[in-house]
Chain A
Amino acid sequence: MDIIPAGDSALIVRVREQYENAPEETLDEVLRIFQLLQRAAIPGVIELAPAYTSVAVFFDPVAVLKSGGAAHGIFDELAAKIQSAITPASGRRRRLTAKRARRLIEIPVCYDAEFGVDLDRVAEHTKLPEHEVIHLHGTGEYRVACIGFVPGFTFLAGLPKNLATPRRDVPRKEIPPGSVGIGGAQTGIYPLRSPGGWNLIGRTPLKLFDASKTPPTLLSPGDRVRFRAISRDEFESLKNDMVIPTEAEEADAKR
């Protein structure tokens, strides 16, 4: 674990060196540190961004200074507070990990040729028939490794190794929202109309990003995800009545 500057207003907590060796464990550890830092609410820290092996911490140096210390020691001061916030008692660690691991979200995906425009490319590269590509993708268990690139873009870890397919040499200028793709060893969902180079194999009718909701995304880092293959008809009917429940609505539903 080390803490390194990323400019004068951000730093990176490097949790692990590698991701691929132990993705599940690394993700849990990154999320544990992310949550501990969220709870610690260290003065001057504005926001956090977890990603694969690290947590980026964005801060206001002026506010850090106002909370104590000297101007030349702003980074060291903050790094020390972060260090002490992420080394808590062991009982707390278990509770946090357990709580996070419970959420499993099912994403319906229509793998019809109209949406899966690169299924043939993936089939060719993996030397698997298209129906086998669909079957393997649809039965895998995934976790949200991080969200980024564009708001709500979900990077999912856990793609069956034999489905890995290199990105397209020339990215598409515009990819329709909901497109499910394979990029290298990862799979992911494009939430918004955007450019992109991943191989498109299907589409979900779910709305993954909605700026009018808090939080604005359907998925959060660490969530478990399963895909469910749906027909074109089901795609259309789901598309019409899908909404993201807000956290408040979810809490109401649990009561």
Chain B
Amino acid sequence: MRNANVMPRDPSTSASARATADEPLGITAVVERAGFQTSVQDLGRTGFRQFGVSTSGALDPFALRVANLLVGNDESAAGLEITLGGLQLRFEDERSVAWCGGEFDVQIGSRALPAGHVARVHRGNELKIGRAEIGCRCWLAISGGIDTPVVLNSRSTDLRANFGGLHGRTLRDGDQLPLGEFQASQVAATEDISSWTGPHDWVSPAQRHPALHFIRGADWHCFNDSTLQRFKINEFSVSSDSDRMGVRLEGVELKRNDEADLISQGVAPGTIQVPPGGKPILLLGDCQTIGGYPKIAHVITIDLGIAAQLRAGDRVRFLEVSLQDAYRLLIQRERDLERFRIGLSLQTS
């Protein structure tokens, strides 16, 4: 294991002990500018859904995994999720950094760091994440990971319930971001900026007008045929009140056959639910654990990274696939990631 920054498997060892201890801060990175909405996220919080606790976590967990692998971290290490840019970090020691996500303008000093490349930063270096040309979010991995306390099995920030991450909130100007330990060889092998990278659709999945693949939801038949046709054919535009809970969509109204209440059931990121007004909501990582609106469809896991890039004004379409195809695509990507992991270890050894 190359990194100490891994999640404990046993929930009883979590949270409280570390959260309350007044540990002296180790090495930190200084948040000079926090940006629009930047938070500490890992691959998400699991095991507490029965108590109403959301997944949280990177809205594109795959992007964070790739970024972590690039800097030699365990793929579950915590990184930063940056929404709409504006972040400026100053480093206090030598680290490797990499990011994946939307088409952001990222600079270390005067050098540009493209998505999916690894760079070595030195003490005093500043990393700036500017605006995105396309897309909404990116994930920054730093060797050693972000070392905020593990709360309920995860370092992810729960922005609705205000726990996890750095003091349960988004970053603020002037924050000291605790960084974890890493092995010196992890950074020593890093070039100033690497010439190699991962596949483009992994490191930069944002599209201006994407089509997201879906499988039918349990309540598909609550809608009549012409509504379902409209759902499959029309483009929807992304509303400005979208957030980490969900992407709110506008376009044709999806009216149900009858408005009787449905009994609440578990919902998950990727679920597209349709409230009485007929405007669908595509749920993301901070979504509630149970919901009672009809579920028309579910966006497949490998497309959640594209969904996480949707921002106000973007247009999106939905394409139906079979559950078998969803699995085929997911398994293929995992196999490709395994090859990428092996390739990386050859690259850095």
* Chain A interface residues toward B at CB < 8 A: 4-10, 12, 19, 34, 46-56, 58, 61-62, 65, 71-72, 74-75, 146-153, 155, 192, 194, 209, 211-217, 220-221, 246, 248
Shortest beta-carbon distance from B326 to chain A in Å: 4
Complex contact B217–A6 (CB within 8 A): yes
Shortest beta-carbon distance from B298 to chain A in Å: 3
A153 — nearest CB in chain B belongs to which residue?
Answer: B52
B50 at the interface (CB under 8 A from A): yes
Shortest beta-carbon distance from A77 to chain B in Å: 11
With A51-B263, A51-B264, A246-B16 already in contact, 16 other A-B pairs whose C-beta atoms are closer than 8 Å: A5-B298, A6-B267, A6-B271, A7-B300, A8-B298, A9-B301, A46-B46, A47-B48, A53-B263, A53-B265, A61-B327, A149-B289, A155-B264, A209-B161, A211-B163, A211-B164
Which residues of A sit under 8 angstroms from B168, Cβ to Cβ?
A: 211
Complex contact B46–A211 (CB within 8 A): no
Report the number of A-B residue pairs with Cβ-Cβ less than 8 Å: 171
Which residues of A sit under 8 angstroms from B330, Cβ to Cβ?
A: 8, 61-62
Alpha-carbon distance A220/B50, docked complex (angstroms): 8
Complex contact A214–B152 (CB within 8 A): yes
Q: Is the interface of A mostly helix, strand, loop or mixed?
A: mixed
Name the one of A9, A49, A62, A194 contacting B160, with C-beta atoms under 8 angstroms: A194
Complex contact B19–A212 (CB within 8 A): yes
Complex contact B12–A214 (CB within 8 A): yes
Which residues of A sit under 8 angstroms from B49, Cβ to Cβ?
A: 47-49, 56, 58
Alpha-carbon distance A166/B146, docked complex (angstroms): 46
B334 at the interface (CB under 8 A from A): yes
Alpha-carbon distance A56/B152, docked complex (angstroms): 20
Complex contact A7–B288 (CB within 8 A): no
Task: Mark B9-22 against chain A: 1 for CB-CB distance below 8 A, else 0.
Answer: 00110111001100
Which residues of B sit under 8 angstroms from A48, Cβ to Cβ?
A: 49-50
Complex contact B290–A49 (CB within 8 A): yes
B256 at the interface (CB under 8 A from A): no
Alpha-carbon distance A166/B288, docked complex (angstroms): 22
Which residues of B sit under 8 angstroms from A65, Cβ to Cβ?
A: 327, 331
Complex contact B16–A49 (CB within 8 A): no
B270 — nearest CB in chain A belongs to which residue?
Answer: A7
B47 at the interface (CB under 8 A from A): yes
B333 — nearest CB in chain A belongs to which residue?
Answer: A62
The 3 closest A-B pairs by CB, nearest first: A56-B266, A7-B298, A148-B290
Name the one of B16, B19, B50, B334 contacting A221, with C-beta atoms under 8 angstroms: B50
Given contacts A52-B264, A151-B54, contact A75 B323 (CB under 8 A): yes
Given contacts A6-B298, A58-B46, contact A212 B265 (CB under 8 A): no
Shortest beta-carbon distance from A27 to chain B in Å: 12
Which residues of A sit under 8 angstroms from B151, Cβ to Cβ?
A: 211-212
Alpha-carbon distance A155/B288, docked complex (angstroms): 14
Which residues of B sit under 8 angstroms from A4, Cβ to Cβ?
A: 218
Name the one of A55, A62, A151, A194 contacting B158, with C-beta atoms under 8 angstroms: A151
Which residues of A sit under 8 angstroms from B295, Cβ to Cβ?
A: 6
Which interface residue of B158, B301, B328 has the most chain A CB atoms within 10 A?
B301
Complex contact B328–A71 (CB within 8 A): yes
Name the one of A49, A56, A62, A147 contacting B334, with C-beta atoms under 8 angstroms: A62
Alpha-carbon distance A59/B263, docked complex (angstroms): 22
Given contacts A12-B266, A56-B268, A216-B51, contact A5 B323 (CB under 8 A): yes
Complex contact A72–B12 (CB within 8 A): no
Which residues of B sit under 8 angstroms from A215, Cβ to Cβ?
A: 48, 51
Alpha-carbon distance A53/B53, docked complex (angstroms): 20
Complex contact A12–B50 (CB within 8 A): no
Shortest beta-carbon distance from A8 to chain B in Å: 4
Alpha-carbon distance A58/B54, docked complex (angstroms): 12
Alpha-carbon distance A45/B45, docked complex (angstroms): 14
B324 at the interface (CB under 8 A from A): yes
Alpha-carbon distance A55/B288, docked complex (angstroms): 15
Alpha-carbon distance A214/B13, docked complex (angstroms): 9
B215 at the interface (CB under 8 A from A): yes
Shortest beta-carbon distance from B66 to chain A in Å: 16
Alpha-carbon distance A128/B72, docked complex (angstroms): 66
Which residues of A sit under 8 angstroms from B48, Cβ to Cβ?
A: 47, 151, 215-216
Complex contact A12–B265 (CB within 8 A): yes
Alpha-carbon distance A152/B50, docked complex (angstroms): 9
Which residues of B sit under 8 angstroms from A7, Cβ to Cβ?
A: 215, 268, 270-271, 298-301
Name the one of B160, B263, B266, B270 contacting A150, with C-beta atoms under 8 angstroms: B160
Query: Restricting to B236-293, which residues have a CB under 8 Å from any CB of A?
Result: 263-268, 270-271, 288-290
